[in-house]
Amino acid sequence: MSFGNNPRLIEDFAEYTRQQGCGDHILGRALNEYGIRFGQNGGDEKFTWGFNGVVHWKFGFRSENWCTPLLSWHKAHSRDIARYYELEKSWDFKRPLLHGDFFKRIIALDLDKRREWWDNLSSLFDITSANANSPSAPQSKYNRSLWTNAWKSVDACEAACESWNECMQWSYYDDLCRMDDKLITGSGFAPGMFQRKTRLIITSGWLFHRIKDWE
């Protein structure tokens, strides 16, 4: 695709642009129609990297995208855009900004090993008192005893995550322990929010020390 080669480029995309609300969506379609491919979904529609469809605090950082270029974020808040701008100003673009770089420069600085009143959107495995006798489990290495007892407490949930060699984060609410092999920031319930008065506390944790296995 060469600039100016298609005199009908504006007409071709004018109506589509009017119907859509997202510039990254429109640009992605234009590039795709002209055969320009980048990013990856593994051929199975399981997105790993490319034009990101979510804002950074909902994005799943994982081994497959950790060392790939960061191209965009979707529907970012103004305060997020300000932080992106400061990162770009400080970055030496002799090499691409990778997903892992972004995580370490922006996200890791804001998170603790464990945080209360916070949901990090863990979802790959769920263990509760109801399914503790036969919970779903990973194919890779884990401790079955710790796994089946993960629903009993925050500490038990964290221990189960630690026992699974691919676990990167966990969350605990009531008797529900959730674990995941991705790193997701998620969001919290600030003091004064009604959820703090109407629901039980939710606690989330991350295993940052395992990032080294991705690099």
The structural domains of the chain, ordered by start, are 1-36 (no CATH), 52-110 (no CATH), 114-213 (3.50.4)
Q: What is the DSSP letter of 162?
A: H
Query: Kind and range of the H or E element at 171?
Result: strand 169-173
Pick the most confident of 9-13, 72-76, 196-200, 206-210. Answer: 206-210
The residues facing 98 across adjacent strands are 69
Grade residue 15 by pLDDT with cuts at 50, 70 and 90: confident
Tell me the angle at which helices 9-19 and 23-33 cross, rounded to the nearest 10 degrees: 140
Q: Which residues of 112-128 are buried (b: 16+ CB within 10 A; e: fewer)?
A: eeebebbbbbbebbbbe
Q: What pLDDT was estimated at residue 51?
A: 78
For residue 208, pLDDT over 90 is answered with yes
Helix (H/G/I), strand (E/B), else coil: 39: coil
Of 148 and 47, more confident: 148
CA distance 118 to 122: 11
Higher pLDDT, 215 or 161: 161
Q: Which residue has the tokens 């400080």?
A: 90
In this predicted structure, the answer to whether residue 38 has a pLDDT above a threshold of 90 is no
Residue 3's pLDDT band, with cuts at 50, 70 and 90, is: low
Residue 144 has phi, psi (to 5 degrees) of: -65, -40
Residue 67 to residue 64: CA distance in whole angstroms: 7
Query: Which pLDDT tens digit goes with each residue over 100-121?
Result: 999 999 999 889 999 999 999 9
pLDDT tier, 4 (very low <50, low <70, confident <90, very high otherwise) = low
Task: Name residue, tokens 């469809």.
Answer: 53
Distance CA 23, CA 149 (A): 47
**Nearest by Cα to 126 from 162, 182, 177:** 177
Q: Convert 184-209 to b/e letters by CB count within 10 Å (16 or more is b).
A: bbbebbeeeeeeeeeeeebbbbbbbe
Give 119 or 77, the one with higher predicted confidence.
Answer: 119
Q: Is the pLDDT of residue 5 over 80?
A: no
Higher confidence at residue 80 or residue 158?
A: 158
